[in-house]
Amino acid sequence: MTEKLVVTNKGFVRADFSFWVGLYMDKFYDSFENKKIIGNKCSKCGKVFVPPRKKCGKCNETIPLDNNWVNLPNTGTLLNYTITHYKVSDRAARKAKKPQIIGMVQIDGSDTAIVYRLLNIDIENVKIGMKLKIEWEEKPKGNPADIKGFVQV
Amino acid sequence: MDKVGIVGFYQVKLYSDANYGRYEMIFEAVRGAIDSAGLKKKDITTAISCTNDYYDGRTISNCYTVEVGGGYMADESKVEMDGAHAVLYGLMRILSGNHKLSLVWGGSMASCFPYHAARLYETDPTWERPVAYVNDITAAGFQMRAYLEKYGVSIEDIAKIAVKNRKNASRNPLALQEAQNANITVKDVLDSEIYADPVTELMVAQPCDGVAALLLAPEKQALKITDNPVWITGVGYNQETYYLGDRDLTKSMSMELAGKMAFDAAGIKDPKKEIDLAEFFEAYAHEEVIFSEALGLVDMGEGTNLNSEIDGDIPINPSGGAIGGNPPCGTGLIRIIEAAKQLKGEADGYQVKDAKKAIASGQIGMCAQNNIVYILEGGN
Ligand SMILES: [Zn+2]
């Protein structure tokens, strides 16, 4: 196709969406307000999930809302990482100022990993297996952004 | 399972910016598929499409593709996954015994929206989306690193896969021009822009514009339409859990289980010996390696050592694969068409010798959370 024939139309409709976080995630975010992280445990296989959930898929076991909560520390281990110059939410606008290191971190005492930025760590010093801890927002609001990222212990 | 015949197909040329409307593109593909079988629109008894509301910029996006997509006043439905999943829907309609000819088409125009940013809409809206660290590309960065670390494989070995597919694409006239490169080197791939380390730009199957269509018919009907159909003799599909942090990213459980199901249906005992070629929807170069291992075409951790060139031990993506062009919702369907071309001996310029049995696969989700596998056989 050669010359530009088609006039594009932005065609935006403003129709915002609100999500209910659900009862399990509500408890999870409540704990963020106290700078604490919690998980929940499958009674069958003993796996501890972060974020918490209603079902263990492997066991097809329902995890009750009122039980099986596990208090977890602010520390964890780096399982995996990637480095990107891009803002994930805005790739079309191209690059962020500095490459960010995004890590998969297993909180100690849990069996899953969560994805957050690594802060104040130079790229050459990132190592799988390194010990990390959560850097909380000073005044947490009870949402995922309360965890600013992870710093080296 | 009863075998089902592929009796016609058509794919439009892939463009990074096709600069013509999606409806014209859909019509070209659907008309082309019907013509390739020497049939008429009225012969279609069920029309299945694959598009995505977000990618099409409108809800229930098939409401507007009725006429061009062969669905006017017809039995019509849509799958919002990969085109290869729409083929499953079309296949099931045939196997129900109620339909004689099933039209399946899929595709979209990635030039109209920021594809990778849109993939953020796939993430958990109450947990991952607000902080925005996960999309298809960062997920791929995690998976590639996990694989390299586990098996001590080098980045160069993964780059070689991208080189092979881009060279193969240069022999496929319908591939995306930007992906066609007969002279590409490993260094070119490694020197291309870092998307999410260790994944570089040229390891990514670039989202583009394109539509493809195919026709399915039950055995008896297929033999009436053509004396050279390609048979679908097995299909398998599988889905694993959503959160990346719950999964072992060094392998693809869903591909392994989908493969088992498809091999069982087709009576394949030893895929290494029995499969002549594979067309995978590899959204990233490393996925091709992980899929080959999951399907038992090569031992675990050995995927980069497989000679998968067109004249190799098991040719993989002789057409260039998804790296040769990745129109969202069309890519997996194109893999099936490309495998069918090989079995019919119509892959002019990239034909695999003596191709009798092939694998074609589609996928959807972060790190190919969901995989679907077809076994195709040539001859009647
Ligand atoms: Zn369990």
| Contact (CB, 8 A) for B321 and B165 | yes
Nearest to B339 by CA among B364, B324, B361: B361
Classify residue A48 by its DSSP letter: E
Q: Which of B20, B125, B245 sits opposite A5 (nearest CB)?
A: B20
Q: Write down the residue that tokens 């298809």 correspond to.
A: B136
Contacts of A50 in chain B (CB under 8 A): 245
CA angle A126, A132, A135 (to 5 degrees): 115
ipTM of the complex: 0.93
Q: Write down the residue that tokens 């040539």 correspond to.
A: B378
**Tens-place pLDDT, residues B321-345:** 999 999 999 999 999 999 999 999 9
Total residues belonging to chain B: 380
Say if residue B198 is preceded by a cis peptide, omega within 30 of 0. yes
State the fold for domain A23-152.
Answer: OB fold (Dihydrolipoamide Acetyltransferase, E2P) (2.40.50)
Tell me the domain boundaries of chain A.
23-152
Superfamily for B4-114+207-225? Answer: Thiolase/Chalcone synthase (3.40.47.10)
pLDDT at residue A98, as a whole number: 82
Residue of A nearest to B113 (CA): A92
Dihedral angle over CA of B26, B32, B37, B38, nearest 10: 120
Q: Write down the residue that tokens 């530009």 correspond to.
A: A4
Residue of A nearest to B59 (CA): A13
Q: Chain B: nearest CA to A12, how far in angstroms?
A: 9
What is the average per-residue pLDDT within A7-17? 74
**Tens-place pLDDT, residues A45-65:** 999 999 999 999 999 999 999
What is the distance between the alpha carbons of residues B253 and B258, in angstroms, rounded to a whole number? 8
**Tens-place pLDDT, residues B240-299:** 999 999 999 999 999 999 999 999 999 999 999 999 999 999 999 999 999 999 999 999
Helix (H, G, I), strand (E, B) or coil at B199: strand
Tell me the domain boundaries of chain B.
4-114+207-225
Contacts of B133 in chain A (CB under 8 A): 88, 102, 115-117
Contacts of A92 in chain B (CB under 8 A): 114, 117
Residue of B nearest to A53 (CA): B243
What is the average per-residue pLDDT within B351-366? 98
A7 touches chain B (CB under 8 A): no
| B114 with A92: Cβ contact below 8 A | yes
CA of B317 from ligand 1 middle (Å) equals 38
Q: Which two tokens stand for residue A18?
A: 């609100």
Q: Which two tokens stand for residue B39?
A: 């049939």
